Structure 1
Amino acid sequence: MNTPNLPSSTASSASSVSKEGSTAPLSSGIINGISRRFRGFLPVVVDVETAGFNAETDALLEIAAVPIHMDASGIVYPGDTVSAHVKPFPGANLEAAALAFTGIDPHHPLRIAEDEGPALKKIFEPIRNVLKGSKCSRAILVGHNPAFDLAFLKAAVARTGVKHNPFHQFSTFDTATLGGLAYGQTVLARAIAAAGIEWDSSAAHSAVYDTEKTAELFCAIVNRWKELGGSPV
């Protein structure tokens, strides 16, 4: 979640990005080394947009995910985006301030939202496909202040009973922490600017846009660390 308040040419390698809300599958690609790089975990960048801060009571409205791939030379890059608009679950709280902040109208007729269960399956299935091809045992959620995103993800899984959640239950990679280490910046927009990545503030607070930009930032930091000789792969 992008809360309010190392230039590298490999920061945003070409990736085939699906349209927001699409069902396009993620490409498994050639990512054999990524399992060794992250101790058997597949980094998957996730962002959620919500109607508040309480994962148990407030609605999950958007979710997007981007798996991280690795090429033969050990450079990481964002994979394809998968995303879903989500209908508020029955009885969900909708905080007016949160909706004003994100600009999301949960009841807009053109929103094409789906229930939490089908939305989670749309996100999880392609991630599991990438896991199979990567020799990774589990996905690890990458996010900006990812405890927020993971909490909403886990709450939705608990509500729906969806099986085979690919994500580790508590471990995450935090780009706020990594951005502070690499660039001295913990705010997403500022860390991205420090990394030399393009940022459009008018597009922010869309799950797809924030996820894709966070993925670029994560890759920029990991690849820069490799350039400096710190990567084991």
Structure 2
Amino acid sequence: MKLLFIDTETGGINEKENSLLSVALICWNDKLVVDRLEFFIKEESYNVTEKAMEINQLNLEVVKKAGIKKEEAVKKINDFIIKNFKEEKAVICGHNVNFDIRFIKELYNKVGKNYEEFISYRSLDTASIFRFLTIAGKFKNEQINSLDDAIKYFNISFENRHTAMGDIEKTVEIFNKLIEIV
């Protein structure tokens, strides 16, 4: 089963108000990264919060200069899905992935495209998998809620943390380790 791992870096937590700054995609199949894509989103002006920029450490001038328009971003996502999933709708996976899904859906809405044409309504969330495995007794006396907690638990490098691609690569690594636990 192929999965579409996704992560975003944003200018805040409100998908209706804050800017989507970068997107990273990984096509995963049988514990292997099959393909990857990352890009910045170009806007005339960005709506960001100080806290978000403190976390992601992105330079908005770099984002704007290297970024692509929202229409092109949606086309890149769709082309990536068609290339890697053919006729199948992509099932999205990530850590606390509903956050990223909200921003991606809003991106599609802003350009008048149908999110569900290429992307399944189903998703997998590694944070929920951790919660389930804790309930099932696989993680005793462990509090694994955040991506940082999971990275520490599995002793994964923090290098490139809080970049879209860096975070999604770590999420894929964590997902593979969760498979091994089961």
* Alignment partners' CA distance in 2, 1:104 and 1:137: 34
Normalising by structure 1, what TM-score?
0.67
Q: Which among 186, 192, 201 is matched to residue 145 of structure 2?
A: 186
The 5 Å alignment of 1:74-93 reads 76-88=31-43, 92-93=46-47
> What SS does the aligned partner of 2:60 have?
coil
Counterpart amino acid of 1:139?
A: A
Q: Which among 156, 160, 166 is matched to residue 203 of structure 1?
A: 160
Q: 1:85 to 1:64 in 2, by over 3 A?
A: same
Unaligned runs of 5+ in 1: 1-33, 35-41, 71-75, 226-233
Counterpart amino acid of 1:104?
A: L
Identity percentage of aligned residues:
24
Q: CA RMSD of the aligned region, Å?
A: 2.2
Deviation, structure 1 residue 178: 1.5
Deviation, structure 1 residue 151: 0.3
* Alignment partners' CA distance in 1, 2:63 and 2:19: 18
Normalising by structure 2, what TM-score?
0.84
Structure with greater proportional helix content: 2
The 5 Å alignment of 1:16-35 reads 34=1
Does residue 1:94 correspond to 2:34, yes or no?
no
Please list the CA deviations of residues 127-150 of structure 1 after superposition, one character each: whole Å capped at 9, or x if unmatched: 222112xxx731111111111100
Please list the CA deviations of residues 92-139 of structure 1 after superposition, one character each: whole Å capped at 9, or x if unmatched: 52222211221112223885111111122222212222112xxx7311
* Alignment partners' CA distance in 2, 1:109 and 1:215: 25
Q: 1:92 to 1:106 in 2, by over 3 A?
A: closer
* Alignment partners' CA distance in 2, 1:172 and 1:203: 25
Unaligned runs of 5+ in 2: none
* Alignment partners' CA distance in 1, 2:180 and 2:70: 35
Please list the CA deviations of residues 12-54 of structure 1 after superposition, one character each: whole Å capped at 9, or x if unmatched: xxxxxxxxxxxxxxxxxxxxxx2xxxxxxx4211000000111
The 5 Å alignment of 1:1-233 reads 34=1, 42-70=2-30, 76-88=31-43, 92-108=46-62, 111-132=65-86, 137-162=88-113, 165-169=117-121, 171-180=122-131, 181=133, 183=139, 184=142, 185-196=144-155, 198-200=156-158, 202-225=159-182
> What SS does the aligned partner of 1:215 have?
helix
Relative contact order (C-alpha < 8 Å, sep 6+): which is higher? 1
Counterpart amino acid of 1:191?
A: A
> What SS does the aligned partner of 1:81 have?
strand
